Amino acid sequence: MTRIAVTSRSFSRHPVLREELQAKYADVKFNDDGLSLSGESLVEFLQGCDRAITALERIDGATLDALPDLKVVSKYGVGLDMIDLKAMASKGVQLGWTGGVNKRSVSELVIAMAISLLRHIPLANAEVREGTWRQHMGRELSHQTVGIVGCGHVGKDLGRLLRAFGCQVLAHDILDFREFYKDTGIKAVGLEELLRSSDIVSLHLPLDETTRDILDAEHLRMMQKRALLINASRGGLVDEDVLYEMLTSGDLAGAGFDVFSVEPPENHDLVDLQNFITTPHIGGSSEEAILAMGRAAIAGLESFGDPSEVAMGIRHDTDSANV
């Protein structure tokens, strides 16, 4: 009998996903205690299981060495930076993964952050609650120039939505999506041109050795003073210390982050700034996205492939949506 383990806490407490998974498999182990599993505790939880649904848990070579029975890992969510794909491939462990299942959830959060920053909504809300009635002069999202860094599933979806606002959309990606650009009127540009030209910059990249700190001090200082920076993809893409300096000095108008290099964030000075808004990694946490991710993970227990081939597919359609 196939034994399934679900490490994800949100999947484990979702009644619809639990019911649908148990309808397919008789032997399912859920993370009912809501444990944050890693290292030895993760190995202990997965011990003796043939297949697993994982989310933010780190699956590396040492973990796989301790789990000889594990044959399939199905990903709940789209980010794969917590999984060592090379180690999985070398040990013959298969990967179930579907890209783009939470793209609309992330895209809408980006738009919500952009409008909130442009209209000073968090500051105005706080002031009214404190008894201050003061009108703030803001800007409209419509007709702004928006730069999308990373044009995978989320980047493409965001680009389509922004066109409905009449925005000029610039895109930068290491891959050539010329048919998509042609169909949508989105302009492909280099990273430096995008940073210098955009009123709003939104990041949609995976985190790896090529993207870590891609917005370092040099690149951040290319942005316009009136510009906004939004990161709803992965922490570690931006030098957060330099970002804090620029937001406090007026060298950048505002920023909205759903993700951080360390979560929860340790830089409370950044979080407390009036021109900085944050959410706790909820980009993919709409009701609709949770169901879509969960059902994709269930399907991935039977529909899987070699991790090396999956990784190749990711490189041809990069995606950085949240888990």
Domain ranges for the chain, please list them. 3-101+285-315, 103-278
Q: Is the peptide bond before 265 cis (omega within 30 degrees of 0)?
A: no
Per-residue tokens: 206: 């995976």
Residue of 309 and 244 predicted with greater confidence: 244
Q: Which CATH architecture has domain 3-101+285-315?
A: 3-Layer(aba) Sandwich (3.40)
Would you state the pLDDT for residue 238?
98
Instruction: Tell me, yes or no, if 281 is annotated catalytic.
Output: yes
Report the Cα–Cα distance between both ends of the chain, in Å, rounded: 30
Would the CATH topology of 3-101+285-315 be identical to that of 103-278?
A: yes
Can you give the pLDDT at residue 311?
Answer: 59
What does the buried/exposed string (b/e) look like for 19-50 if buried means 16 or more CB atoms within 10 Å of the residue's CB?
Answer: eebeeeeeebbbbeeeeebeeeebbebbeebb
Give the torsion through C-alpha atoms of 138, 142, 147, 149, to 10 deg: 100
On the question of pLDDT at 180 being above 50, the answer is: yes
pTM for this prediction = 0.87
pLDDT of residue 310: 72
Q: pLDDT tens for residues 24-45? A: 999 999 999 999 999 999 999 9
pLDDT of residue 321: 36
Residue 95: the pLDDT is 97
Q: Is 60 exceeded by the pLDDT of residue 320?
A: no
For 7-32, what is the mean pLDDT? 96
Report which residue type is found at 213: D
- Which carries the bigger pLDDT value, residue 132 or residue 207? 132
SS3 111: helix
Q: What percent of the chain has pLDDT over 90?
A: 89
Average pLDDT, the chain: 93
The C-alpha R_g of the chain, in whole angstroms, comes to 21
66: left (phi over 0), alpha (psi -120 to 50) or beta: alpha
Q: Is the predicted pLDDT of residue 323 greater than 80, yes or no? A: no
- The residue annotated as part of the active site, out of 139, 153, 172, 234, is 234
241 vs 125: CA distance, rounded Å: 27
Beta bridge partners of 238: 215
Closest CA to 231 of 208, 209, 213: 213
Mean pLDDT of 64-76: 96
Burial class (CB in 10 A: 0-12, 13-18, 19+), 4: buried
* Domain range 103-278, CATH architecture: 3-Layer(aba) Sandwich (3.40)
Question: For the segment 79-138, what is each residue's pLDDT rounded down to a tens digit?
Answer: 888 899 999 999 999 999 998 999 999 999 999 999 999 999 999 999 999 999 999 999
- Contact in structure between 219 and 238 (CB atoms under 8 Å): no
> What confidence category does residue 317 fall into, taking pLDDT thresholds of 50, 70 and 90?
very low
Q: Give the E-state strand segments of the chain in sequence order.
A: 3-6, 27-30, 51-54, 72-75, 94-96, 145-149, 168-172, 187-188, 200-203, 228-231, 254-257, 276-278
Measured distance CA(163)–CA(151) in Å, rounded:
15
Using 50, 70 and 90 to split pLDDT, how confident is the model at 1?
confident
> Cβ-count burial of 280 within 10 angstroms (0-12 exposed, 13-18 middle, 19+ buried)?
exposed
The residue from 140, 263, 266, 287 that is catalytic is 263
- Note if 234 is an active site residue: yes
Question: pLDDT value at position 81?
Answer: 82
pLDDT for residue 196: 98
With cut-offs at 50, 70 and 90, classify the pLDDT of residue 314: low
Average pLDDT for residues 260-270, to the nearest whole number? Answer: 93
Question: Does residue 212 carry a catalytic annotation?
Answer: no
Identified catalytic residue from 104, 120, 219, 281: 281
Lowest mean pLDDT segment, chosen from 71-85, 137-151, 298-312: 298-312
- Other CB atoms within a 10 A radius of the CB of residue 211 amount to 21
**Cβ atoms of residues 189 and 197 within 8 Å:** yes
Q: Give mean pLDDT, residues 304-320.
A: 63
pLDDT of residue 312: 59
Q: What is the DSSP letter of 305?
A: B
